[in-house]
Amino acid sequence: MFDNDLLTYLETYLTEERKRRFLEVLQQRTRHITVAVEDVYQLHNTSAILRSCDAFGVQDIHVVESRFGKRLDKNIAMGAEQWVDVYRYKNVADCISKLREDGYQIIATTPHNDSTLLPDFSPLEKSAIFFGTERKGLSKEVMEQADGFLKIPMVGFSESLNVSVSAAIIIQQLAQKVRNSQVEWQLSDIEMLEKRLDWTKKSIKNVDGIIKRYLVE
C-alpha cells in the first residue's frame, strides 16, 4: 500500500517550485508508448535516447545489453536516468516477453522493410518501439516477432539516420500523437504518486537517514 504520509513528510524537504515542477512533468508522462534499445554499441547513443524519452515524456526505456554490456553514460544522459525508469535485459527474448506481458505490441524501426511511414502510424494500442544497432539495425529475432514496422520518410540520398536521431524524431512524433488522441495515455493516479515519491527521494541528500528518523517518529 502506498505511504501517503511518507510522501507528505519528504516533500517538506522540497521547495514549492520543485514540487510544482514534478506535478507538471507527471501530467505529461506516458507509458502508452515505450522504447526498447537492442545492443546499441555507442554509449552516447543509448544515453541520448534516454534523454529523448525524458524530454518527450516517455517514462520507461528497455535496454537489451547482451553483446556490449552496460550502454548508458551518465555524463551524456545528464541526469535523465533519475527521471526515466530504465529496465535492463541480458537478451532480447526476455525483453519482448516482458513487454508482451505488459500488453505492448512490438514495433520494429527499419528503413528496409515495407514499413509504415511515421506520419501514417497511430499508436492506438500500447506500443513498444524497438531501435537496433548502428550498422545492422535490429536482430532477426526482433524482426520475426514484430507486430509492425516503422520508418521515417526521407527524401535525400541517405537511407538511414543515426539511431539516436531517429529515436528522437520518432519518440517526439508518437508522444505528440498519443497526447492528441482519445486513448488513456497518462499515468494512473497511483503511478503518479509512486513517481512523486521516487523523484522526491532522489532529490534529497541523505534521504535514507531522513526516512529512518521518520519511521522512528
Annotated binding site for S-adenosyl-L-methionine: 109, 152, 161
Residue 116 backbone dihedrals phi, psi, to 5 degrees:
-70, 135
Residue 166 has a CB neighbour count (10 Å cut-off) of 21
CA 48 to each of CA 51, 83, 182, 190: distance values in angstroms, whole numbers, following the listed order: 5, 14, 29, 29
Give the chain's count of helices (H) and strands (E). Answer: 9, 7
Determine whether 9 is exposed, middle or buried from the number of CB atoms within 10 Å of its CB (0-12, 13-18, 19+): middle
Distance CA(199)–CA(204), nearest Å, equals: 9
- Answer whether 57's CB lies under 8 Å from 29's CB: yes
Residue list for the binding site: 109, 152, 161
